[in-house]
Amino acid sequence: MDKSDILTNNFFVEYDEERRHLCVYTVNNGVKADVPIRLRMDSLLEKGKEHAAQWFGESIFLLIPSLRRELYDLDKEEL
């Protein structure tokens, strides 16, 4: 899998109540990925609500190319 398959500015997020997973689908060129990034509710609960929200936000930031570069100093060689 290429990094460009995962990194994007567009996402579709849904909560799978049955599996208790927060599912983040990347959307590239208008096409939603078949397989989501799954965040288990138990993992989020272990972190506590404040830290879980921060962790979720940072996870999304790391998927957005410009934020990876500007906030985390990642992928600068790809400019």
Each residue of 14-62: pLDDT tens digit? 999 999 999 999 999 999 999 999 999 999 999 999 999 999 999 999 9
Classify 20 in phi/psi space as left (phi over 0), alpha (psi -120 to 50) or beta: left
Q: What is the pTM of this model?
A: 0.82
Do 23 and 36 form a contact (C-beta atoms < 8 A)? yes
